């Protein structure tokens, strides 16, 4: 599970990253990142109903993304707020495709040491 200090929780934090964040897109994921003044990087996940009408499917996607980010945490640079936004079409992908695309996105956004 992603530690508490590595989670974006408040609506104003999500809005700040959406407005001021720099965007990257890869296949079925989009990433927005903005600097923060903290010692940790924080992550938020957005899975809309356009991806799936079923909440169980959307929650599963978020769990998979959290697990992938949790594995990358030791390698991620400090002081960033990151939003990972899913796009339609990923509900049929498997874990390894998620991991590959996340790896590309994090490298393109220069978040990995």
Domains of the chain: 4-108 (3.30.230.10)
Predicted confidence at residue 69, as pLDDT, reads: 96
What is the 8-class DSSP label of residue 25? E
- β-strand 42-46 against 80-86: which pairing, if any? parallel
- Condensed to tens digits (0 to 9), the pLDDT of residues 12-54 reads 999 999 999 999 999 899 999 999 999 999 999 999 999 999 9
Among 91, 9, 12, smallest CA distance to 47 is for 91
Q: For residue 30, count other CB atoms closer than 10 A to its CB.
A: 16
In 3-state terms the chain splits into helix, strand, coil percentages (rounded to 5) of: 45, 25, 30
Classified as helix, coil or strand, 60 is helix
pLDDT for res 82? 97
């Amino acid at each position: 599970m992603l530690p508490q200090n590595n989670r974006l929780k408040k609506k104003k934090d999500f809005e700040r990253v959406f407005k001021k964040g720099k965007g990257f897109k890869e296949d079925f994921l989009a990433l927005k990142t903005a600097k923060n003044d903290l010692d940790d990087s924080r992550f938020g996940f957005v899975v809309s109903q356009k991806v799936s009408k079923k909440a169980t499917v959307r929650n599963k996607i978020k769990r998979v993304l959290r697990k992938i980010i949790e594995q990358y945490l030791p390698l991620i640079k400090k002081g960033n707020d990151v939003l990972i936004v899913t796009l339609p079409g990923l509900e049929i992908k498997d874990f390894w495709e998620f991991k590959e695309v996340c790896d590309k996105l994090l490298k393109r956004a220069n978040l990995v040491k």
